[in-house]
Structure 1
Amino acid sequence: MTIFTSLGMLTAIYMLDRNTLASSQFYGTGLKGLIPALIYSWLQTSLSEEILFRGFIGKRLSSKFGFGIGNCAQALLFGVVHAVLLYSSAGFLNSAVVMLLTGLVGWSIGILNEKLSGGSIIPGWVLHGLTNLISSIFMMYQWM
């Protein structure tokens, strides 16, 4: 699952203009961007998104409609939010690809959390945080 998530993230990074990504704020900062990147990666985005999408939306919809529908719905919302945020700078096609990739990642994290981790959002948070941190490091050292 980590490989799948990382491949999706790397595809998005190379497909989009680096300035459209949230992690572009760390472009060229090198090591001095590490502490801000850690805060961004683990708290600002990953923790808040995992609490909202998998912890709140996913669990509520799963309890009402069953896990399959609830997980698909939270993943779709996760993908749509990411696509909408990129639409004005990335265009329709790139936004659609981002929606698909982030939706699949959200769906996978939903399975990881609920079916493989007893309902805990911690594994999804760790995976999401690592993905965001890798993206930030790519920006910090201008590897894209």
Structure 2
Amino acid sequence: AGILNETGLSEIEVEHDGLKIRVARTLTASAPVTLAAPAVAAPPAPAQAAESVTAPPAPAPAAGDAVKSPMVGTVYLQPQPDAPSFVKVGDTVAEGQTLMIVEAMKTMNPIPAPRAGKILEILVLNGQPVEFGEPLAIIG
């Protein structure tokens, strides 16, 4: 729970030697902290069943450059809750223009466009936790 408070994260999950612990909090002032029971691994599927199951093909990534998160935090697509988004798909942006904000440890960090171009895709939702290096948007 202390790590959540220090980092500003809303949840964390750790797995070690088959024991999985998940700590999460809601964003209200009196939020309870919940702990998940250890997960029990399901028995492996028979080999022939695994061969017959195929995953649907992943969508092709948009051609362009990914703008990645420089830190762990929470992404916000607009400067204030009632304000319009910094950018939307189809917008043309200039190098250095703010695309979104990543909040880390109560600090709002603007994410600038690394180059001029067109926003082809926004890969995150407003208020979503993000990891270091996670793609946030695609600029073409």
Higher CA-based Rg: 2
TM bin, normalised by shorter chain, reads under 0.3
Q: TM-score, normalising length from structure 2?
A: 0.26
Structure having the higher strand fraction is 2
Structure having the higher helix fraction is 1
Q: Which has the higher contact order (CA 8 A, sep 6+)?
A: 1
Q: TM-score, normalising length from structure 1?
A: 0.26
